[in-house]
Copies of this chain bind each other. A is one copy, B any other.
């Protein structure tokens, strides 16, 4: 197996059924070069015995038993293993004696419904091994591999290089989600001042967006601490050459956070504007209703008057009809024109 044997299509199946029951992927870097990939999981132990190697193992939805393969070899803490197996962890970076444990989320906004889907990923980070645990298939392995291969010149930074690729991918996903929401919000604005308001759609959409923004915030905000803590305290993992790259990821996290906040503001603004626009429309409708009621009152008064069975002037006479007609048309017409002019009808 050599570097040439690249990933194609989705992902290679696990070669080591004896090792893990779940799909697994492996890579080893030797002296900053990709030396092999797709080898059986049980070889990891041997590879780590060699000097100058950095090993990557990916497991998709592993059970606790699947993780057993590396738990002992890497000295993983039972609590971290628990967190890697259970879902719904906080995005965080936990420090154990022998390793770090990272928990984070990839996100995706459905362009049609604005709903947010999240995929959880966990990672054990030791000075010479990165074990990624994908809790759903939302995290595309290919994108990660491409990112690593595209920056292969930094592979000599070892684990920092691998970790950066992973974080960069996740934060880019956050960024794309914010961007997608931003575009959808622009769409909302257009609907907002539409002549024929599509309020129901607007509400449903904006509700879904606000929900997605709340969720997104919960995922994005803790990343600030995760990346910052990596930069400040883990100088052994993040060597000087990688430092600017982690700084870059951190800038992205900050921008995603600030942008999310701005979008929250914008959606609130849209909602509040919609509320006042509704009030406007209501006032306009009420005004025309009042106008109709006034017209109705006039019509009723005139025709009702001439419908009485009492000998009013003109009762049963031609000129009575003419007079009533003149009255009816005159008063309603005058009122109509008056209301039109005031813009009430």
Q: Contact residues of A with B, CB < 8 Å?
A: 77, 79-80, 83, 89-90, 92, 94, 96, 189, 192-193, 199-200, 203-204, 206-207, 210-211, 214-215, 217-218, 221-222, 244-245, 247-248, 251, 254-255, 258-259, 262, 265-266, 269-283, 285-290, 292-297, 299-312, 314-318, 320-321, 323-325, 328, 332
Contact = CB atoms under 8 A, between A and B. Distances in A.
Contacts of A207: 189, 192-193, 269-270, 273
Contacts of A293: 289, 292-293, 296
Given A276-B275, A276-B278, A303 B308 contact: yes
B301 A311 contact: no
Given A285-B287, A297-B292, A311-B317, A244 B276 contact: no
A324 B308 CA distance: 9
A308 to B, nearest CB: 4
Contacts of A312: 321, 324-325
Nearest to A265: B214
A77 to B, nearest CB: 6
Nearest to A247: B94
Contacts of A328: 301, 305
Contact of A214 (B92, B269, B281): B269
Given A244-B94, A275-B275, A308-B324, A269 B218 contact: no
Contacts of A278: 276, 279-280, 283
A249 to B, nearest CB: 10
Contact of A245 (B79, B273, B316): B79
A330 to B, nearest CB: 14
A308 B321 contact: yes
28 contacts: A77-B244, A90-B254, A94-B244, A193-B204, A200-B277, A203-B273, A207-B273, A211-B269, A214-B265, A214-B269, A218-B262, A274-B276, A276-B278, A281-B283, A282-B282, A286-B286, A290-B292, A292-B294, A293-B296, A299-B301, A303-B304, A303-B308, A306-B308, A306-B309, A306-B310, A307-B307, A307-B308, A311-B318
Given A211-B269, A278-B279, A307 B314 contact: no
A280 B79 contact: no
Contacts of A218: 258-259, 262
Contacts of A321: 308, 310-312, 315
A289 B218 CA distance: 45
A302 B96 CA distance: 85
A283 B274 CA distance: 13
A323 to B, nearest CB: 8
Contacts of A289: 286, 289-290, 293
